[in-house]
Chain A
Amino acid sequence: MLFKKMLRDIAKHKAQFISIFLMAFLGVFVFAGVGGESVGLEVNSNNFYEDTNLADGWIYSANISDLFLDQIDCLGATTQMERQVVVDSVGDFDNDPDITLHFVENNTISKFHLIEGKELDINDGGGVWLDKSFADAKGLKVGDNITFEFENYTIEKEIKGIGYSPEYVYHASSSSIIPDFNKIGFAYLSHKAFPADAVPYNVLNIKFDGNPESYDELLDYHMGGYYSSFVERSEHTSVGQFADEIDQHKMMGDIFPVVFILIAMLILLTTMRRIITHQRTQIGILKACGFKNYSIILHYLSYGFWLVLTGSILGLILGPMVLPPLFYPSMSANYKLPSWDSAWSMNFVYVAALMVIMSLAVSFYSVKGISDEKPADTIRPKVPKVSSSGFIEKLGLWKHLSFNIRWNYRDTKRNKFRALMTIVGVMGCSALLVCAFGMYDGMNDLKEWEYTQINHYDSKLVIEEDAAQSQIDDIASKVNGDEIMEGSIEIESGSAKKSGSLLVLNETDLITPTDYDRNSVEIKDDEVSISEKMAKMLDVGVGDTVRWHIMGSDKWIDTKIDKIHADPVSQGFIMSADKLKDLDLNYTPTAIITSDHVTEDYNGVKAANSMNNMTSSWDELTESMWLLIYILIFFASLLAVVVLYNLGLLSFTEIEREIATLKVLGFKTGALRKLLLTQNLWFTAIGFVLGLPVGYYILAIMWESSGDSFYILPSISPINFLITMVITFALSILVNLMFSRKIKKLDMVESLKGVE
Chain B
Amino acid sequence: MSTIIEFKNVDKEYKSGEHILKAMDNVNFTIDKGEFVVILGPSGAGKSTLLNLLGGLDSVTSGQIIVNGNHVESFNDNQLTEYRAKNVGFIFQFYNLIPNLTAIENVELMKDIVDVDIDGLSVLDSVGLGNHADQFPAQLSGGEQQRVSIARAVAKQPTMLLCDEPTGALDSKTGVLILNLLQDMSNNRNTTVIIVTHNAILAEAADKVIRIKNGQIESIAVNENPMKVTDLDW
Contact B112 A667 (CB under 8 A): yes
> What is the CB-to-nearest-CB distance from A129 to chain B, in angstroms, rounded to a whole number?
79
Per the 8 Å Cβ criterion, residues 80-114 of B in contact with A are 81-82, 84-86, 88, 90, 92-94, 96-102, 105, 109-110, 112-114
If A667-B112, A754-B94 touch, whether A387 touches B85 (CB-CB below 8 Å) is no
- In the complex, the answer to whether B100 meets A410 with C-beta atoms within 8 Å is yes
Chain B residues with CB under 8 A of A666: 81-82, 84-86, 88, 113-114
The residues of B that contact A671 with a CB separation of less than 8 Å are 112
Partner of B113, one of A407, A410, A667: A667
A246 and B78 alpha carbons, distance in the complex (Å): 61
- B134 located at the interface, meaning its Cβ lies under 8 Å from any Cβ of chain A in the complex: yes
Given A664-B84, A752-B92, A387 contacting B99 (CB threshold 8 A): yes
Known contacts: A661-B96, A749-B52, A754-B94. The answer to whether A385 contacts B138 by CB under 8 A is yes
Contacts of B100 in A (CB 8 A): 387, 406-407, 410-411, 414, 658
B48 partner residues in chain A, CB cutoff 8 A: 749
Complex Cα distance, B113 from A403, in Å, reads 11
Are A384 and B99 touching (Cβ within 8 A)?
yes
The verdict on B139 contacting chain A, using a C-beta distance below 8 Å, is: yes
Find the A residue at minimum CB distance from B99.
Answer: A384
Shortest Cβ distance from A409 into B: residue: B100
Complex contact B84–A665 (CB within 8 A): yes
Decide yes or no whether B143 CB sits under 8 A from chain A: no
Cβ of B215 under 8 Å from chain A: no
Distance in Å: Cβ of B87 to nearest Cβ of chain A: 9
Contacts of A389 in B (CB 8 A): 102, 134
The complex places the Cα of A365 from the Cα of B37 at a distance, in Å, of: 52
Check A665/B113 contact, CB under 8 A, given A407-B98, A755-B94: yes
**Among B84, B85, B109, contact of A403 (Cβ-Cβ < 8 Å):** B109
| Bound form: Cα–Cα A410–B105 in Å | 12
In the complex, what residues of B have CB within 8 A of residue A346's CB?
A: none
- The answer, among A384, A665, A749, for a CB contact under 8 Å with B109, is A665
Q: Which residue from chain A places its CB closest to the CB of B100 in the assembled complex?
A: A410
B138 touches A664 (CB 8 A): no
Does chain B have a CB within 8 A of A418? no
In the assembled complex, the CB of B157 is this many whole angstroms from the nearest CB of chain A, namely 13
Q: Which of A402, A664, A744, A754 contacts B90 (CB 8 A)?
A: A664
Q: Which residues of B contact A748 (CB under 8 A)?
A: 57-58
What are the residues of chain A within 8 A of B96 when measuring CB–CB? 657, 660-661, 664, 752
Known pairs A671-B112, A749-B58, A752-B92; A410 contacts B101 (CB<8 A): yes
Distance in Å: Cβ of B83 to nearest Cβ of chain A:
8
Question: Size of chain B's interface in residues, with CB distance under 8 A?
Answer: 36
- Whether A276 sits at the interface, judged by CB under 8 Å, is no
A386 beta carbon closer than 8 Å to chain B: yes
CB pair A384–B138 under 8 Å, yes or no, is yes
Minimum C-beta distance from B91 to chain A (A): 11
Q: Is A662 an interface residue (CB 8 A)?
A: yes
Using a CB-CB cutoff of 8 Å, which residues 645-671 of chain A contact chain B? 657-658, 660-669, 671
Question: Inside 8 A of B86's CB, which chain A residues have their CB?
Answer: 666
Q: How far does the alpha carbon of A754 sit from the alpha carbon of B78 in the complex, in Å?
A: 26
The residues of B that contact A658 with a CB separation of less than 8 Å are 98-100
Chain A residues near B77: list those with CB within 8 A.
Answer: 669, 744
- A664-B57 in contact (CB<8A): yes
Size class of the contact patch on chain A? 20 to 34
**Nearest residue, chain A, Cβ from B80:** A666
Per the bound structure, the CA–CA distance linking A273 and B93 in Å amounts to 28
**Residues of chain B lying within 8 A (CB to CB) of residue A407:** 98, 100-101
Is B112 within 8 A of A403, CB to CB? Answer: yes
Task: Please report which residues of chain A, range 716-756, place their CB below 8 angstroms from some CB of chain B when the two chains form the complex.
Answer: 744, 748-749, 752, 754-755
A414: chain B residues at CB < 8 Å are: 99-100
Is residue A289 contacting chain B, with contact meaning CB distance below 8 A? no
A744 partner residues in chain B, CB cutoff 8 A? 77
Confirm or deny: A383 has a beta carbon within 8 angstroms of a beta carbon on chain B. yes
Residues of A within 8 A of B134 (CB): 389
The residue of chain A having its C-beta at the shortest distance from the C-beta of B92 within the complex is: A752
Determine how close the nearest CB of chain B comes to the CB of A659; give it in whole angstroms: 10
Q: Which residues of B have CB within 8 Å of A668?
A: 78, 81
Return B141 CB to nearest CB of chain A, in Å.
13
- Which of chain B's residues has its CB closest to A412's CB? B100
Q: How far is the CB of A667 from chain B (nearest CB, A)?
A: 6
Does B55 touch A at the CB level, under 8 Å? Answer: yes
Within 8 A of A (CB), among B122-148: 134, 136-139
Tell me how far the C-beta of B50 lies from the nearest C-beta in chain A, rounded to whole angstroms.
12
| Other-chain residue from A385, A749, A754, A755 in contact with B57 (beta carbon distance below 8 A) | A749
Q: Which residue of A lies closest to B152 (CB)?
A: A665
A657: chain B residues within 8 A (beta carbon): 96
Most buried by A among B57, B77, B86: B57
Q: Enumerate chain A residues within 8 angstroms of B78, measured Cβ to Cβ.
A: 668
Q: How far is the CA of A389 from the CA of B90 in the complex (A)?
A: 28
**Which of A384, A406, A754, A755 contacts B101, CB < 8 Å?**
A406
Interface mask (A671-708 → B, CB under 8 Å = 1, otherwise 0): 10000000000000000000000000000000000000
Given the interface contacts A664-B57, A665-B84, does A406 sit within 8 Å of B105 by beta carbon? yes
- Minimum CB–CB distance from A76 to chain B (whole Å) comes to 79
Residues of B with C-beta under 8 A to A752 = 92, 94, 96
CA distance A506 to B104 in the complex (A): 83
Residue of A nearest to B111 (CB): A403
Q: Once bound together, how far apart are the Cα atoms of A661 and B105, in whole Å?
A: 15
**Cα–Cα, bound, A411→B110 (Å):** 19
Residue in A closest to B51 when the chains form the complex, CB atoms: A749
Per-position binary interface string of chain A over residues 377-391, scored 1 when its CB falls under 8 Å from any chain B CB and 0 otherwise:
000000111110100
Q: Which residue of B lies closest to A387 (CB)?
A: B136
With both beta carbons as reference points, the residue of chain B lying nearest to A404 in the complex is identified as B112
Chain B residues positioned under 8 Å from A387 (CB to CB): 99-100, 136, 138
Chain A residues near B94: list those with CB within 8 A.
Answer: 752, 754-755
* CB neighbours of A386 from chain B (8 A): 136, 138-139
CB distance from A746 to the nearest CB of B (A): 11
Chain B nearest CB, measured from A745 CB (Å): 11
Which residues of A in the span 614-654 have a Cβ within 8 Å of any Cβ on B?
none
Report B122 CB to chain A, min CB distance, Å. 16
Measured CB to CB, the closest approach of chain A to B63, in angstroms, equals 18
The docked-state distance in angstroms from the alpha carbon of A657 to that of B94 is 11
Q: Please, how many angstroms separate the alpha-carbon atoms of A663 and B77 in the complex?
A: 11
- What is the CB-to-nearest-CB distance from B20 to chain A, in angstroms, rounded to a whole number? 18
A406, A664, A665: which contacts B110 (Cβ < 8 A)?
Answer: A665
B138 touches A662 (CB 8 A): no
Task: A671 to B209: give the CA distance in the assembly, Å.
Answer: 38
| Minimum CB distance partner of B87 in chain A | A666
Can you list 21 A-B contacts (CB < 8 A)?
A: A383-B138, A384-B99, A387-B99, A387-B138, A389-B102, A403-B109, A406-B100, A406-B105, A407-B100, A407-B101, A414-B100, A662-B98, A664-B96, A665-B90, A665-B152, A666-B81, A666-B82, A667-B113, A748-B58, A749-B52, A749-B58
Given A663-B81, A669-B77, 9 other A-B residues pairs in contact with their CB atoms under 8 A: A383-B138, A386-B139, A411-B100, A661-B98, A662-B98, A665-B85, A666-B114, A748-B57, A752-B96
Using CB atoms and an 8 Å cutoff, list the residues of chain B in contact with chain A: 48, 52, 55, 57-58, 77-78, 81-82, 84-86, 88, 90, 92-94, 96-102, 105, 109-110, 112-114, 134, 136-139, 152
